[in-house]
Amino acid sequence: MSLLNQQDQSGYVFGMGAVLLWSGFILVSRLGGISELNHYDVVALRYATCALIVLPIWWFKFRFNVFQWRYVAAALVGGLGYALCTFHGFQLAPASHGALLLPGAMPLFIFLLALSVGQAKLNMQSVFSVAVISAGILILFFGQVSNQQVDASILMGDGLFLLGAFFWGVFSILIKRWGLSPWQVTISMALLTSIMYLPFYIMFAPKNIALHLWPEMGLQMFYQGFLATIVQMLLYVRAVALIGASGMGALMALVPLIAGVAALILFDEPATVSLLIGLLCVALGAWLNHSPLLGKYLSSGAVLKTQR
């Protein structure tokens, strides 16, 4: 007899699909970063492709006023700010660092920002998980700084990852506060980011797009513009509906491990002790934040204290 019912089984299948696509996003972004394309090119390919896909959906099926200031603000932060920082980071720093810092710093910033605006309550489980994640990030940075041959470009790339994670944290708080649906966010971000960014890109940004780079361009267009934006969002939302936010959050703890180990193998990146410990800490912290076992243990401990 199966331990999971059909709904849970389907939910975990959808959830693992989202996890694998998110892990692949880190690897494909690094491929773009080490190719002849620059980060301005990758951002343009991502949002131009996504905009072309969602434009008929918006026009024929789900039309709404995308020029409301809330959608514009969300696109500036979660579209332009996040993408420019993140893809520039992948040009400078290893993919394994992105696998640690992006899925690690995102929940950290989301928790701190939500706490500051009253969207989250302080509880021992969140504090404990955030402390473990923070330890993993600090271990990575201390490992780099203590190295006698510090690479300034890698440190800058790591800083851009953190800044991108901060922008995503702000974006997450905004869409929750304003009650924007996943489709509203996806469509408005693709269309508005393209409208705001592509004229700047065409007229002013340095460009390395060329015909002989069509395999790299095609990969970025398909993965960034379709899989990582539309398909991943649909899988994630469906998984949350079936197994809940906590179940999906626990699955997302696999992203640092999957993407980090894959990056070490595919790109032959150095597997330093600080990096490996940091990856484990971030994955463990993300899992603990959604672990029902830890929540029950801490709540039972609090009950015992109140009874004494």
pLDDT for 23-78, tens place per residue? 999 999 999 999 999 999 999 999 999 999 999 999 999 899 999 999 999 999 99
Residues 6+ apart with CB under 8 A from 306: none
Residue 303, pLDDT score: 43
Measured CA to CA in angstroms, residue 305 lies from 123, 151, 298, 301, 308 at distances of 15, 49, 11, 6, 5
- How many Å separate Cα 255 from the centre of its chain? 10
- Within 13 Å and on the Cβ side, how many CA atoms surround 135? 13
Residue 122, pLDDT score: 74
Nearest residue to 92 (alpha-carbon basis) of 178, 154, 11, 175:
154
- Distance CA(183)–CA(189), nearest Å, equals 10
Residues 6+ apart with CB under 8 A from 74: 171, 174, 175, 178, 180, 185, 188, 189
CB 109 within 8 A of CB 168: yes
Residues 6+ apart with CB under 8 A from 227: 21, 24, 25
- Residue stretches of the chain with pLDDT short of 70: 1-4, 120, 148-150, 245, 294-308
Phi and psi at 270, nearest 5°, equal -65, 125
Residue 308, pLDDT score: 54
Residue 29, pLDDT score: 97
Residue 289, pLDDT score: 80
pTM for this one? 0.90
Read off the amino acid at residue 55.
L
